[in-house]
Amino acid sequence: EVHLEESGGGLVQPGGSLRLSCAASGFTFTTYSMNWVRQAPGKGLEWLSYISSGSSDIYYADSVKGRFTISRDNAKKSLYLQMSSLRAEDTAVYYCTRDEMRYYMDVWGKGTTVTVSS
């Protein structure tokens, strides 16, 4: 069964850092690009970042550019999101998703919650 599981969320103070992880299983991770998407409480979905299968192509939404860094370890079948300079508006559920041709996201994890508050 194809599965994505995020971890690493929690409570962090404004200005702090956090690293999210996403463990993949049930498919050949090395052949798929991946994304991070978030959803603030009561709000809609927001695409954050994309990484190609071999990490050669990386893109970010303007809202997180310069603060967040996406990476992956194909040997560990894992995706990461390093978040720094966190703000209250970064409070959200963060989902990792499997990408299909950069045109849609066909598999989603259950999400991990990040709360930025003092």
Partner 1 sequence: QSALTQPASVSGSPGQSITISCTGTSSDVGSYNYVSWYQQHPGKAPKLMIYEVSNRPSGVSNRFSGSKSGNTASLTISGLQAEDEADYYCSSYISSSTLYVFGTGTKVTVL
Question: Do 45 and 54 meet the contact criterion of CB atoms below 8 Å apart?
Answer: no
Q: Which of 62, 94, 63, 61 is closest to 80 using CA atoms?
A: 94
112 interacts with partner 1 by CB under 8 A: no
Residue 64 Cβ, how far from partner 1 at the closest point, in Å? 12
Instruction: Please state whether 106 falls in left (phi above 0), alpha (psi between -120 and 50) or beta.
Output: alpha
23 interacts with partner 1 by CB under 8 A: no
**DSSP-derived pairing of the beta strands 78-83 and 18-25:** antiparallel
111 interacts with partner 1 by CB under 8 A: yes
89 interacts with partner 1 by CB under 8 A: no
Distance CA 40, CA 48 (A): 12
59 interacts with partner 1 by CB under 8 A: yes
Stretch that binds partner 1, among 11-19, 24-32, 41-49, 70-78 (CB under 8 A): 41-49
92 interacts with partner 1 by CB under 8 A: no
Of positions 9, 27, 47, 52, contacts partner 1 by CB under 8 A: 47
Binding site for partner 1 (CB under 8 A): 35, 44-47, 50, 59, 61, 95, 100, 102-111
